A and B are shown apart, each in its own frame.
Chain A
């Protein structure tokens, strides 16, 4: 089945140690998104790619960066994680920007 796959499901890193989360899709969708979701809150959009065009939300910290080397893969890099970055990170895709998004199961990031 076509899907959005996030690896790993659980990630533990140390305070200040860079970490990369990955997302892959078999839907061949143009748009890929990264969201941060903290406990009991709605997902918050960090940034998205429309094809190779990167779109950063105005309030996304500089600590967060993303790469999309090809249509299928997208990475979230956190350069120096702080305790406040502990959250669920969700990847999503859509064929076009105004169409429903398909979500992966997320990566839960813990910071020691």
Chain B
């Protein structure tokens, strides 16, 4: 069985300050991990993915995430928040051996608020 826990339902930061969105996972297999972003009334857009290569993963729009197996974490960071980063962020794990769509597990999401 696998699960994803996003530790904060809401995160509020000021524009220009760092962003940290926290995600912990559990998986019986070596997981693939993803972060997706969803802007209002839009579909989900892939920010970045971890698939057992480098533990520090760089994504689009200045986001990056670090896979820490010892802490079972995959936190998303950005050095400097922009107003356009305001959105819902989902941490997703895929862990079934050999892949498979039914192996995807979504976190409940973190709503990122950017204060001017």
Contact = CB atoms under 8 A, between A and B. Distances in A.
A6 B42 CA distance: 11
Contacts, number: 62
Nearest to B34: A100
B99 interface: yes
B108 A41 contact: yes
> In the complex, which range does the number of interface residues on chain A fall in?
20 to 34
Given A42-B90, A42-B109, A98-B32, A105 B43 contact: yes
Contact of A102 (B46, B106, B107): B46
Interface of A: 4, 6, 31, 33, 40-43, 45, 48, 50, 55, 57, 88, 90, 92, 94, 96-106, 108
24 contacts: A4-B43, A6-B43, A31-B101, A33-B101, A42-B90, A42-B107, A48-B101, A48-B102, A57-B102, A90-B43, A90-B44, A92-B43, A92-B44, A94-B101, A97-B99, A97-B100, A97-B103, A98-B32, A98-B98, A99-B99, A100-B34, A105-B41, A105-B42, A106-B41
